[in-house]
Structure 1
Amino acid sequence: MASLQDHVDDDQATTASSDWIKRILKKDYDIELTMPEDRLFPTPSRALYVRWIASLLNSTDPSWYENFDAESSAQPCPQREEIAGLDIGTGASAIYPLLALRLHPQWFMYATEIDATSLCYAHDNLVANQLEDRCKVLQRTPTQSFVPDADELGQRDLDFVMTNPPFFASVHEWQASLSGTGKERPPDSVCTGAQTEMVYEGEGEGGGGDYDFALRLYRESAQAENVRAQWYSVMFGKKASAHRFVAHLQMAQCFNFATFLLGAANRTRRWVVAWSWLEFRPESSISRTESAPPSLNPWPTDYSIPNQSTQSTRCVQGEVMRILSELPPPFEMKWNQTLGSGVCRTTEILWNRSYRRRAKLIAEGKVPPRSQQEISEAKKKPVGLGVEIAVEEERVLVRWRQGSQRVWFESFCGYVHEQLRPLMASGASSSERSTEANAARTGMTSEGETATSSSQHDHGSTIKAKSTTRSEDESIGQADDSTRKRRKIV
């Protein structure tokens, strides 16, 4: 089977005929497609959106800690199988459900559509591909919510929501785009879409178009009680709309988001923005787009500690295990020595100055240690920070897996970095390493209490300690329902 990327450039550079599209879909995905002449034909590149969603879900598995295998001898490739997704405005082709179900045999899809003609064709296309049992198509009206309620879906939880909304805010804007008004060159392709597929006038507040559509979905997601999804996503046809929407997420203090760019330079591009109200963080290679400006990307979730010494990975791994094992409950850790990686999580900060001072007083017998009841109560709190650590040949990589507060992640990375500095620093002698390591073990080093900014991140990003917002300083030890109630709806 040819890769999708083999067709992307041709798809976006030429006027794609319906026959050409049908042949590619049949050859690469075994999809039979029947379309009316006055509705939008899908492009095979839409599979990139589906594949990115799959990567996003695999990267944010809520069972990431429980599923970690400390005995495995092979690098795990996590794949979430039983996934339920929703495509808002599926169109006559139902292309996203078709691609999602062909690529992932264990997935189930829901699809909504307001246009009666498109709805009939969407159902027929699912039947023609023998996928009607794995996709439920629902007719909606413009005044109904984008996400159907639990009674209509038959379940309360979705793994993701995706949508390719109308890009234009008015018929006038749409017609101007078709004629090439205001553009340096005429359009590359012929648009066969109906008005319902091309124009979303919205409520006026957001100006209509894809931004207003995304804004409405965001507000539904923030207020959702009946049906909730882990990830909501929108494909934008305008770069300005994507930038504007990311700025809105940040202003509304929704910091767990991801971006994806579909399209090559100097060709038709699409920008996908996804956001989540849960605290499971995707890895930077999935959530950040290298070619996008910093304003469009979320915080990095990878922190790299370079090994500038000649120490072996076995030696570094032993030191990392020692550092982590010395953190008291409710800190939890699983470690795989064969792979040189592990996972950790905690409900409390156990590495800052106050905790280390208390540990010293306990060791001196000046204060009593925590009782088992106190430890048990601490473990019942929500996870405040979850990380994955991998010891590689030239670095130690710390990846943020769970938690809402960046300051916890930065603080932990700074602590581990400072503890490893005596061993991994460039040019340090054996005696210097021994002296500094002993000082670090007894808590005598003055650094490491807060995050450092000296370590480079993947993709050239750098974590910097910054003053946090009021939202970031709120206690992490609150239930998830309480967290949802604190959302700022803008």
Structure 2
Amino acid sequence: MHINNLHKDGYDFKQLAKTLPELARFVINKVARRPTIDFSDPLAVKLLNQALLKHHYKLDYWDIPTGFLCPPVPGRADYIHHIADLLAGSNVNVGNIDNIVGLDIGVGANAIYPIVGSQVYGWQFVGSEVNPASIQSAQNIVNANPNLKNHLTIRQQFNAADIFKGVIQTQDRFSFTMCNPPFHANVQEASVGSQRKNTNLARNKQKRTGSISKKPEHSLNHLNFAGQHNELWCQGGEVAFIQKMIDESQHFATQVQWFTCLVSKKENLKGIYQQLAAVNAHEVLTINMSQGSKISRFVAWRF
């Protein structure tokens, strides 16, 4: 993980359970192993997030509605820290909090990126969202935490076909935009992806405990990899979404210093680079991130 990531040394479950006592009953202590939780248990994962956000980011309240994405905080934090590096490499003083404003496309019900960015760096954020339930959840988080109230403004995207249009206003100036786009092309593909993740979790749990899960296969879809359709899939999948984002970005070239977006699959980069060339992006970077054995990346461009 990034050297500045607060989670790079793993989870201190003893301390986290002190911060959030409700987590304690979900902590698994195995002989000769570090404490952990059952990551296939959605309640355990949500409580872990609540403990992390309370302990490291000083939140009094954080929650999400049932069926919405529960984000892995360390990986989300890495994206923020690498954006800080991107800005610093462009001679931006990342500590000058009065001048740094980020736009989170798809802030979601969890508002995780503005939480990390505001509490670690003091940045301001605008978060866009199409789902009214997500907007209400994110706004509840802001309203319940005094340290977020002056750092995050949520704007509804009324046209789901648009990304920046209808969100970026004439007077806006953003240091960066960021986005965790829908990965899949349709609901069937999203369901298969979620089931694969949960199957891997069940296999890892069996190796760890020696027991076989009794949960029926149809129950896998409601575990911690749940998500609303706009969080998981869109017509044409990730490539189509990012290409649309790139196409729109050229119309806001003077208002945004860096556009960025996560790319889940390395093989999708070719089509993304082609679209960036088509709009004559002045500079394009691909920034790799590593969390254990998982490699992720985001593409950054400017005009």
1:80, 1:132 → 2: CA distance? 19
Q: 1:186 maps to which residue?
A: 199
Q: Distance in 2 between matches of 1:265 and 1:251?
A: 35
Identity %: 25
Q: Are residues 1:50 and 2:80 paired?
A: yes
Q: Residue 30 of structure 1: CA displacement?
A: 1.4
1:95 maps to 2:147: no
Distance (whole Å) between structure 2 residues aligned to residue 99 and residue 247 of structure 1:
32
Aligned pair in 2 of structure 1 residues 140, 251: CA closer, same or farther (>3 Å)?
closer
d(CA) in 2 for partners of 1:263 and 1:28? Answer: 21
Aligned with 2:260 (options 215, 228, 233)? 233
Give the letter for the 1:197 counterpart.
Answer: E
Matches within 5 A, 1:178-327: 178-180=194-196, 186-188=199-201, 190-201=224-235, 208-224=236-252, 228-250=255-277, 253-254=280-281, 256-264=283-291, 266-267=293-294, 269-277=295-303
Residue of 3, 6, 14 corresponding to 2:6:
3
Between the two structures, name the one with larger relative contact order (CA 8 Å, sep ≥ 6): 2
Taking structure 1 as reference, are residues 187 and 136 closer, same or farther at Cα in structure 2, changes over 3 Å only? same
Equivalent residue for 1:19?
Answer: 47
Q: CA contact under 8 A between 1:261 and 1:270: conserved in structure 2?
A: yes
Q: Which amino acid aligns with 1:214?
A: I
Residues 30 and 2 of structure 1: CA distance in aligned 2, closer, same or farther (over 3 Å): farther
8 Å Cα contact 1:7-1:44 kept in structure 2 = no
Q: In the alignment, does 2:103 pair up with 1:86?
A: yes
Alpha-carbon deviation of 1:247?
Answer: 4.5
Q: Contact 2:246–2:275 at 8 Å: present in 1 too? A: no
Question: Which residue pairs with 2:172 in the alignment?
Answer: 156
1:481 aligned partner: none
Q: Deviations over 1:334-368 (max 9, x none)?
A: xxxxxxxxxxxxxxxxxxxxxxxxxxxxxxxxxxx
Which among 114, 123, 137 is matched to residue 139 of structure 2? Answer: 123
The offset of 1:6, in angstroms, is 2.1
Structure of larger gyration radius? 1
| Aligned-CA RMSD value | 3.0
Q: CA–CA distance in 2 between the matches of 1:143 and 1:91?
A: 14
- One-letter amino acid matched to 1:98: I
Q: CA deviation at 1:187?
A: 3.8
Question: Is it true that 1:108 corresponds to 2:124 in the alignment?
Answer: yes
Structure 1 pair 144–228 and aligned structure 2 pair: CA distance change class (3 A): farther
| Higher mean C-alpha displacement, 82-91 vs 256-265 | 256-265
Offset of residue 148 of structure 1: 4.7
| Larger relative helix fraction | 2
Paired with 2:143 and 2:102, the residues of 1 have a C-alpha distance of 19
2:70 and 2:224 in contact (8 A); partners too: no
Q: Residues 144 and 264 from structure 1, CA distance in 2 versus in 1: closer, same or farther, beyond 3 angstroms?
A: closer
Contact kept, 8 Å, 2:49 with 2:73, in 1: the verdict is yes
Cα deviation for residue 242 of structure 1 reads: 3.2
In the superposition, the TM-score normalised over structure 2's length comes to: 0.72
Q: For residues 358-402 of structure 1, what are the alpha-carbon distances to aligned partners after superposition, in whole Å with 9 as ceiling and x for unaligned?
A: xxxxxxxxxxxxxxxxxxxxxxxxxxxxxxxxxxxxxxxxxxxxx
Match of 1:71 in 2: none
Q: Deviations over 1:219-268 (max 9, x none)?
A: 1111336x62010010122222234323443465435122222334633x
Contact in 2 for aligned 1:58/1:79 (Cα 8 Å): no
Q: Where in structure 1 are there 5+ consecutive unaligned residues?
A: 63-76, 202-207, 278-490
How many residue pairs are counted as aligned between the two chains? 248
Cα deviations by residue, 1:133-170 (Å, 9 ceiling, x for unpaired): 222101113445322558x6472321111011110011
Match of 2:65? 36
Say whether the 8 Å CA contact 2:39–2:45 is kept in structure 1: no
1:98 touches 1:126 (CA, 8 Å); kept in 2? no
Q: Equivalents in 1 of 2:144, 2:169: separation in Å? A: 23
Q: What amino acid sits opposite 2:51 in the alignment?
A: R
Query: Are the structure 2 counterparts of residues 148 and 102 from structure 1 closer, same or farther at C-alpha, using a change threshold of 3 Å?
Result: farther
Q: Distance in 2 between matches of 1:187 and 1:232?
A: 34
Residues 42 and 93, structure 1, Cα contact 8 Å, conserved in 2: yes
Change (3 A) 1:252 1:187: farther
Calculate the TM-score normalised by the size of structure 1. 0.46
Code of the residue aligned with 2:229 in structure 1: it is Q
- In structure 1, distance between residues paired with 2:269 and 2:47: 32
Q: Distance in 2 between matches of 1:214 and 1:243?
A: 12
Structure 2 counterpart of 1:168, from 174, 184, 197: 184
- What 5-or-longer segments of structure 2 have no aligned partner? 12-34, 202-222
Q: How far has the Cα of 1:270 moved from its partner?
A: 2.5
